[in-house]
Amino acid sequence: MKRSHSLVSGLFLITSAALAQGQAPAAGPAAASPVAITLRADQPGRVVNRNIYGHFAEHLGRGIYEGIWVGPESPIPNTRGIRNDVVAALKALNLPVLRWPGGCFADEYHWKDGIGPREKRPSMINTHWGGVVEDNSFGTHEFMDLVDQLGTDAYITGNVGSGTAREMMEWVEYLTSDAVSPMANLRRQNGREKAWRVPYFGLGNEPWGCGGNMRPEYYADEFRKYNTFVKNYDRAKPIYRIAGGANDFNYTWTEVLMDRVGRQMNAASLHYYTLPTGNWRTKGSATQFGEDQWFSTLSRTLKMDELITKHAAIMDKADPEKRIGLAIDEWGTWYDVEPGTQPGFLYQQSTMRDALVAALNFHIFHRHADRVVMTNIAQTVNVLQAMILTDKEKMVRTPTYWVFEMFKVHQGGTFLPVELQSPDYVFGGEKVPAVSASATKAADGRTVHLSLANTHPRDPLVLTVKLAGISPASAAGRLLTAPTMQAHNTFAAPDAVKPVPFEGATLAGGTLTLTLPAKSVLVVELRGTRRPIP
């Protein structure tokens, strides 16, 4: 029998003091269930590409304008028009790569409209997102300034849908050439002497949809054509080319791309969004939901593992050496917009549910580190599953932000297998694993980070972790949880959901023991091994 939504009102409360000590909730409908785990530090795998923790900022709603760009004359503290508070918050995440300008916007964006004196730049209509006027005040120079301020890498998506091969060729020259040439000289004329470094370039976005409604065969030919004109002006650092790949379960698209494009691309993209209902017309609320949509959201986000596995199997047939990467450059939750906001702006809140979604996806990406080379959550500020929300001069970090901040220790780490037999979290006759785990070895060879997630909204779990190949001297961590599934941060209460120190882990005889609270994300650092980990 399906459980009633009234279960939400019976959720136990967790005190801050208990959380700070990493204790299980004082009361709950079920005793903590035991879970046995083995962390295999003696079987290191692939390096987890730090670009797995990438971001995406599209000209959409208040993502760029108000969220990142306020202009040099704004009373909001800024550096050359870019918000100081947002930059500081994002820098704390060790942002590895930022994708821009879209998204659907990319295939109607003409880069020359966004250079030169701002007062002379032509405006356009953003037909995809709200029909608002885009004044192009945030363009190439402003984006590359943002990249420099963040200390991150640029991933630029070129216009294949409505642009020309010449337009793309000239943009790459403008960005990356130090020659005495027309586009490089134009860049100098606009105030930038030295070429920028643009490591990643996408050839179109969603060509199967808003990027041109193309058949895979047609797009493959377009990719081959446009790719010819993406020149490597710095041959020592060639541009990494990302093809417009499949939409979720469209495996035929990947088959055609691998067959007809092959190694002319460095990676193929994949897009998958988590909708609680699976219905694009009525996706579900970001904050007003019961356990049914808590469960369905987590269940649907776990489909990411199936998607990567099946697309990677197709890629393996044509590329057994795994030279071509999979770039999941749009992922995250997508809900109905917040009531009272512009429907085309895709503004939504982020709750404890979204924190679990982020943790589960990262664990999946880690397991597929042999093929997944980059992911970009949608999106960075004020759009979909954002890190940050802004309201004029105010800024708030979301629960998703804190998962990125806690998990940054995994960036560039070596994947360590984690063996576990998770109990089931059962709801409405369906089930998902109650616990998810992942581990990486840090570059120092003596530190391991173990991240854990408990998907159950009420039940804590007692974890016994056997440590194979590691003898740590200490274990400490940080815990993210909340009293309710719907808990989120607001401008009035910006720290309602925030990590707290976790000191509830004990080490004895090569075993780590801890209690993982319900609906929680935990990162434990195991330090001071007596010998380097293999």
Half-sphere exposure of 106 (CA within 13 A, CB side): 26
DSSP 387: S
CA of 13: how far to CAs of 10, 21, 355, 504, 519, in Å? 9, 15, 18, 18, 12
For residue 465, what are its two tokens?
């972790």
Which residue among the candidates 108, 222, 330, 525 is catalytic per the annotation? 330
Reply yes or no on whether 338 is catalytic.
no
For residue 164, what are its two tokens?
């020309």
CA of 227: how far to CAs of 140, 160, 177, in Å? 20, 10, 17
For residue 421, what are its two tokens?
């037999």
Instruction: Put residue 289 in one of left, alpha, beta given phi > 0 → left and psi -120 to 50 → alpha.
Output: beta
CA distance 310 to 308: 6
According to DSSP, the residues that pair with 452 across neighbouring strands are 437, 522
Dihedral sign from CA coordinates of 238, 242, 243, 249: positive
CA distance 188 to 177: 11
8 A C-beta contact, residue 390 and residue 66: yes
Reply yes or no on whether 321 is catalytic.
no
CA distance 374 to 372: 6
One-letter amino acid at 446 equals R
Closest-CA residue to 407 (of 361, 462, 472, 374): 361
DSSP 355-369: HHHHHHHHHHHHHTT
If one counts every other C-beta atom within 10 angstroms of the C-beta of residue 507, the result is 17
8 A C-beta contact, residue 261 and residue 321: no
Which residue among the candidates 206, 222, 291, 405 is catalytic per the annotation? 206
8 A C-beta contact, residue 363 and residue 416: no
Provide the 3-class DSSP secondary structure of residue 245. strand
CA distance 21 to 520: 14
For residue 335, what are its two tokens?
């809900």
Task: Name the residues annotated as catalytic.
Answer: 206, 330
